[in-house]
Amino acid sequence: MTTTATQRPPATAPAPGKPAPRRPRRRDGLAGWGFFAPFGVLFAVFMLWPIGHGLYLSFTDQSLTGSGGDLVGFANYLEAFAEAEMWQSIGNTLWFTLLSTVPLVLIALVMALLVEQGLPGKWLWRLAFFMPYLLASTVVSLIWIWLFNPQLGAINSVLTGIGLPAQPWLQDPSLSMVSIVIATIWWTVGFNFLLYIAAIQGIPDQHYEAASLDGAGKWRQLFSITLPQLAPTTVVVVILQVLASLKVFDQIYQMMNQVVTPSTQSAIVYIFDSGFTGYRFGYASAVSYIFFAVVLLVSLVQFRITARKGS
């Protein structure tokens, strides 16, 4: 910050023409810190402190009720490593991430390409595809609980209407995770869609013009111009999507009505249950850090792959 300050145009300097090597720099620094302070305080209180305190708690037997709090070394970590339920919840989270990320990227891309083909009423399509993203997770969960309802739900009505068997969407352990993924796609695909729309609009028209002069058809243009130009956006979308999917909690917690099932318990649900309904803050903190390590690992692998692609 301060190094760039000296290179700024004199508009920020107090007295133009005067060299004043030190003073304006310091004032500039103060102003900078002033602007940074509101964010900095929030960041410290709600990010840095919880991160540090959580790490400390993970080495204690702190209870939600206020009792405990003694240092127990690595006991929480050892217990977590030996707990099959924790590994299963992490496995479920990775499975959800895989199941949700692929369609969330592909469907968003296809929708963006279709809308940008110059459909009539383009604004309406954009609005319709993006609107679900604006809903609160509670609203989305309620909508889909009703849609998935085995007796009264619209989805089963449609299925039986066309002669297919009705399904217990959220109740059948082999279907419940897929059902949650479907609801999640409907809810969040709009954000990726928006990123793709912006990227498509950023591709210069001259490229298409030149290509059509060279005799390239629509498909040729799609594969030789549009998709390659969208590659950097795809990298961003995939990174954001994987991180968002790994954090899955709301819709599982709400759509399963807090009931933990072996096929839908995500890592965050496990952490929440350990800490808030099981009262074991210390243990829950330890699991958080184990999960953090898993997320870090996934991210590193991902950066590795995208970096190789980029080069």
Partner 1 sequence: MRREDFGDRVWESGTFDGDVYSIALDSHPFILFYNTDHAAAAGLMEGDRMRQPTSPDDFLDMVTAMKEASGGSGLSYGYVNDGAQMWRLWYTLYLQQGGVMELPIGGEARIDDEPAVEAFRFIQQLVDPSRGVPNADIQTALAEFISGDSGMLLSGVWELPSLQAAGLPIDAMPIPNLYGTPAAYADSHAFVLPHQNDVDEDARREVYRFVAEILKDSFDWAGAGHVPAYLPVTEDPAYADLLPQANYAAVAEIINYDPPAWFTGSGSDFQSLFAENLQPVLLAGADPQAGIDRFRAALDELLGKPNPV
277 binds partner 1 (CB under 8 A): yes
Which SS3 state, helix, strand or coil, does residue 214 take? Answer: coil
Give yes or no for a contact between 129 and 193, defined as CB atoms under 8 angstroms apart.
yes
Three-class secondary structure of residue 18 per DSSP = coil
CA-based nearest residue to 85, from 256, 255, 265, 257: 265
Question: Minimum CB separation from partner 1 for residue 278, in Å?
Answer: 6
Is 77 a residue that touches partner 1 (CB under 8 A)?
no
Q: Which CB atom, from 149 or from 302, has the smaller least distance to partner 1?
A: 149
Q: How far is the CB of 162 from partner 1 (least distance, A)?
A: 21
Window 167-186: residues binding partner 1 (CB under 8 A): 168, 170-171
The yes or no reply on residue 267 touching partner 1 (CB under 8 A) is no
Region for 17 from its dihedrals, namely left if φ exceeds 0, alpha if ψ lies in -120 to 50, beta otherwise:
left
| Complex with partner 1: residue 85 or 208, whichever CB lies closer | 85
Nearer to partner 1 among residue 55 and residue 260 (C-beta) = 260
Q: Rule CB under 8 A: is residue 160 a binding residue for partner 1?
A: no
Nearer to partner 1, 242 or 255 (CB): 255
What is the identity of the amino acid at 308? R
Q: Considering the complex, state which of residue 159 and residue 244 has its C-beta at the smaller distance from partner 1.
A: 159
Residue of 2, 12, 67, 212 that binds partner 1 (CB under 8 A): 67
- Which whole-number Å values give the CA distances from 169 to 46, 138, 165, 192, in the listed order? 38, 18, 12, 26
Give the separation between CA 26 and CA 29, rounded to whole angstroms: 5
Q: Which of 68, 113, 203, 225 forms a contact with partner 1 (CB under 8 A)?
A: 68
Q: How far is the CB of 182 from partner 1 (least distance, A)?
A: 17
State the helix-helix crossing angle for 176-201 and 84-115, rounded to 10 degrees. Answer: 40
**Does the footprint of partner 1 cover residue 65 (CB under 8 A)?**
yes
CB of 144 vs partner 1, minimal distance in Å:
13
> Which member of 88, 279, 292, 294 binds partner 1 (CB under 8 A)?
279
- Give the number of other CB atoms < 10 A from CB of residue 127: 11
Spatial distance between the Cα atoms of 172 and 177, rounded to a whole number of angstroms? 9
Cα 85 to Cα 88: distance, rounded to the nearest angstrom: 5
Given the rule CB under 8 A, which of 5-13, 40-48, 118-126, 254-262 is the region that contacts partner 1? 254-262
State the burial class of residue 54 (Cβ atoms within 10 Å of its Cβ: 0-12, 13-18, 19+): middle
Residue whose CB is less far from partner 1, 60 or 233:
60
Asked if residue 276 lies in contact with residue 64, where contact means CB atoms within 8 angstroms, the answer is yes
Task: Return the number of the residue (63 or 137) whose C-beta is nearest partner 1.
Answer: 63
Distance CA 80, CA 119 (A): 53
Scan residues 116-155 and list those touching partner 1 (CB under 8 A).
Answer: 145-146, 149-152
Residue placing its CB nearer to partner 1 in the complex, 245 or 265: 265
How many residues bind to partner 1 according to rule CB under 8 A?
A: 27
- Taking CA atoms, 274 is separated from 55, 85, 177, 277, in Å, by 16, 11, 21, 6
Could you list the residues that contact partner 1 (CB under 8 A)?
Answer: 61, 63-65, 67-68, 145-146, 149-152, 168, 170-171, 256-262, 273, 277-280
